[in-house]
Structure formats: C-alpha cells, structure tokens
A and B are shown apart, each in its own frame.
Chain A
Amino acid sequence: MSLLEVSRLKASYGEIQALHGVDLALDESSVTTVLGANGAGKTTLLRAICGTVSRTGEISFAGERIDAAPTASIIRRGIGHVPEGRGTFVKLSVEDNLKLGAYARRDRGAAAEDMERVYGYFPVLAERRRQQAGTLSGGEQQMLAIGRALMSRPRLLVLDEPSFGLAPKIVSMIFEIMARIRDERQAALLLVEQNAALALDFADHAYLLETGRMIRAGRAADLREDAAIRRAYLGY
C-alpha cells in the first residue's frame, strides 16, 4: 500500500481552477519529484495535500483519508511541509522555530534528540540558535525550514522549491543534506522543483505537471532520458 495516494484531485483559488484531477502515489521511504513550469500547479498540489487550499478528490495518507481533515490534523498525522518562501517565524529565535516544529509531538525527550540531529545536519543553525530567525540569510532560512519540518519526525517530508532564489553553492549544500535524509531513510520525500536536472538526479520517481494535469509519470531515470522532457525542461 502506498504511503500517500492522491486521486482525481482538483483545487482552485476562487474562480480559477489550478488542478484538474491529478493522480499521484508514493511509497514509504521513497523519493518523488514533481516537475513543471511556473504556474503548472506544483505548489497548489502540495497545498492541496496539506489542505491549505480548497480541494476535492481523494487523498489517503498511511491508509487513512485526509481530504476532509483540517491542515493542523494532517500535519499531526506525519507530514512535514517545507513551504514555498520558507515560512520562517521571523521574530522568534532559531531554536524556538525548531521547537515549534515539534509542537504537535508529545515525546519531548525524543524531540530534544531530533533537535541535535537537525543541528548535526545544519551546524550553522546551531551557531545561530539564539539569533532572531528573520536575520538569517535566505539559505539559512531554507535550512531552518527543512529542520523545522524534520522536528515533527514526519513519515513524509514535502518540500516546495527548496532551491528557489539561492546561490548554486547553497543549493548543492541543501541537496547534500536532503540526500543524507533520503539515504538514512528517515522519511519519504515529495519534492517540487524548478531545477529539473537536479530533481531528476535526486529522485526515484518523477511526475510531470502541466497546467494542472499530470502528463507523465515514471522512474526519474527514464524521464531524464526522455527526449521531449530534455528539450522542454532540461534545456539540451
């Protein structure tokens, strides 16, 4: 059984429909990427899964329907969401941001261990733990957003364009850490990326979204070799 199963998912912002019946499935500990141009509906798809946009269709997570549940409850079932724009609590300290990631957990002891683990992934956050999070650089805030989502010890980590607006050096650093998370099989990853080459190298499975419809799905390696996709998304 799949960890996450989405079928016939539709979502809209007011009058404008952004998703026209999308299907997607991913397994425990797998890495899945969703590619697509600007405005294809990638962010909307992630939002619809977490219930921050109005949607219809079926979404099951770990065998339970979540398509009618409020966002906070969906998150509590084990989905960590790294939102577009990072969603930093800018006035709070780095450490408080991480603590909030573990807010829904009851096992405080294990949460403290996880904080050390996050500091292990991102040593720069440990150095800045008392600093106001709004003063971090964009890359550091992205690390904080990933760390915060990991603090809930999610079974599925959803990432919305973690490379957006960052210098190439920072991007490769963030992907290195994500690879560690992937290799340690801590969580299944669902990654939305504009950087298609990077995402296809990183993922096991890939979906291609175009104007609110899934037009391709398959192994990431196969999509990487597909001539049409290479021309449209990889630029060679």
Chain B
Amino acid sequence: MDLFIQQILAGLAVGGIYASLALALVMIYQATEHVNFAQGEMAMFSTYIAWSLIQAGFPYWAAFFATLLISFIAGVVIERVIVRPIQGSILSVVVVFIGLLVILHSLAGWIYTYTQKSFPSPMPDMAVMGVNLQELAAIGVTLVVLFLIFAFFRWTPLGLAMRAAAQNPESAVLVGIHVGWMLALGWGLAAAVGAVAGMMVAPKLTLDPSMMGSVLIYAFAGALLGGISSPGGAVIGGFAVGILENLIGTYVPVVGNELKLTVALILIIGVLIVKPSGMFGQTVTVRV
C-alpha cells in the first residue's frame, strides 16, 4: 500500500511537470492552432539559464524568479521576431518550430556541453514519513503556478482580453485589443510556465540538452488526453499521464521502466483514434 501511495505521489510530481508543459502547449495552440514543438527545448534552455544563475551565486529562489522573467521576455521576443513573420502554410510553421528546437538544442550543447549537470531542488533530497520532499516541492510549485495562470486568465481584464484574442481575433480587434501583442504575451507566459516545468524536472533527471525530449512526449500525451482545446483538460491530462506512467511502470512487470515512453505514445494514438477532441475538448454550441 505504501508503494502504491508513493507511486501516486511520484506520479503527481512528474504529472505536474507534464501538466505545466501541456498547458504551455495548449496556450499557444488555442491562440494560433499551432503546436510549438520547441516548447520542451525552450524549457530546457530556461533551466540552463537558471543553472548559470545558481552557479553565479544567486540563491535558488532568486534564480528561479529571474529565470521566469528572462524566459517570459525571450518568449515574447521569439514570437515577435521568429514566429510572427511566418505567414504561410502550416508546414512552414512546423518547419520553423522544428528549426527552433534544433537551434536551441545545439546552442545549449555548444554553450554548456552535453555532459549531465546536477540541478538543485528547493528541498533537500530526503523523505519524511515515506514522502520525498523534492517530489512534494515539485507538486507544490506546479500547483501554485497552475493556479496563478488560471487566476490570471479567469479574473484579470488582460487575461480576458487574451482569451478573447485567441477565440475570435477579428472581434477582439474591434473592441480595441491589440491582438498581435496578446499572442506575444501568450508566448511569453507559455515560455515562463515551461521554464517552471524544466526547473522542476531537472533535479530528477539531471540537466542535459536532451532532458525535455521524453517530457515533451508525455506532455503531448497529457494535452491530447485532456483535450488540446481545453487548458483545464490538458492540466488534468498531464497529471493523469504522470500517475498512469508510474503505476503501469510499477505494477505491470512487462512494461517496467524501459517501455514507459511507449505507453505514452500508445496513449496518444489511442486518444486520437477514439476521441480526437480529448476528454475535455469542448464542443461549442452556437445558434445563429
């Protein structure tokens, strides 16, 4: 039973990371109907920035918040400079995103080398009453971030304007919303949320340029499971994938650690076949 609870907690910890990244993906998808394949590498690069700051002697939380700010600004700049000028087919957008992925990956390898680095957690690596404190910290930080994002979109005028711009850009312009800037802001927020995911997953995986590869796949699985058109669904999907991954890895001997990623891929394909809109994908009712 203890093992079961431990696996659930571990699942929630890693699920929160998938949920954050899934949310970042959905935020951009909702506004532009593009899936940002570079989201994981952006998060990885943010984590390296945090690592550099910590190496330079900054305390953990100072580095954490500075990284969020830097990532936010970088996200805005990427949208303005790289994504915005791309007008064209979906294919050109995909190619740009993959290009961004490769560039960030190589850039991180070039600057920081491909050797693994240890990344600190805000909590010591110890267990209290069978609960790992680092996992607890990851769950706590993720939940706070997810709540803040929710509150921002739900209760602030700017959050409302961003939702409006994503849903109906033509009408958003007609109430005086500068839609282009809302998109850039969305990229900034997604980059910051991704940075949190990176900094939470790095203590567990150790930091290297490839660390977000599998995380991104799990985040995709979470986003699709919950519904890529539903931010709340993507978050729940992310948590569900984390828990599933751990339970299946523990209790289904055939799967074990080696095949866990395969489970995520099967999940993606399964969801796409059975319910393409995901568990919480919205069907909008419109009367005319």
Interface residues contributed by chain B, number (CB under 8 Å): 23
- Checking A92, A134, A148 against B287 with a beta-carbon cut-off of 8 angstroms, the contacting residue is A134
- Checking A76, A134, A148 against B285 with a beta-carbon cut-off of 8 angstroms, the contacting residue is A134
Q: Is the CB of A91 within 8 A of B170?
A: no
Whose C-beta in chain B lies nearest to the C-beta of A108?
B157
Docked complex: A91-124 residues within 8 A CB-CB of B: 91-92, 96, 99-101, 103-104
Q: With A92-B164, A134-B287 as known contacts, state yes or no: A148 contacts B175, CB within 8 Å.
A: yes
Docked complex: B154-207 residues within 8 A CB-CB of A: 157, 160-161, 163-164, 167-168, 170-179
B3 interface contact, C-beta 8 A: no
A172 interface contact, C-beta 8 A: no
Docked complex: B233-264 residues within 8 A CB-CB of A: none
Contacts of B288 in A (CB 8 A): 138, 165
| Among listed A55-63, A82-90, A176-184, A196-204, interface-contacting one | A82-90
Contacts of A100 in B (CB 8 A): 160-161, 164, 172, 175, 177
Interface residues contributed by chain A, number (CB under 8 Å): 33
Q: Is the CB of A91 within 8 A of B167?
A: yes
Q: Total A-B residue pairs with C-beta atoms closer than 8 Å?
A: 84
Q: Is the CB of A104 within 8 A of B176?
A: yes
Q: Is the CB of B285 within 8 A of A72?
A: no
Q: Is the CB of B173 within 8 A of A134?
A: no
CB distance from B157 to the nearest CB of A (A): 6
Contacts of B170 in A (CB 8 A): 52, 83, 87
B286 interface contact, C-beta 8 A: yes
Q: With A75-B173, A83-B171 as known contacts, state yes or no: A92 contacts B163, CB within 8 Å.
A: yes
- Checking B157, B167, B179, B287 against A72 with a beta-carbon cut-off of 8 angstroms, the contacting residue is B179
CA distance A21 to B178 in the complex (A): 29
Q: Is the CB of A103 within 8 A of B171?
A: no
Q: Is the CB of A89 within 8 A of B167?
A: yes
CA distance A144 to B176 in the complex (A): 17
Known: A50-B174, A91-B282, A103-B160. 6 other contacts (CB 8 A): A71-B174, A88-B168, A92-B164, A100-B172, A137-B287, A152-B175
Interface residues in chain B, defined as those with a beta carbon under 8 Å from any beta carbon in chain A: 157, 160-161, 163-164, 167-168, 170-179, 282, 284-288
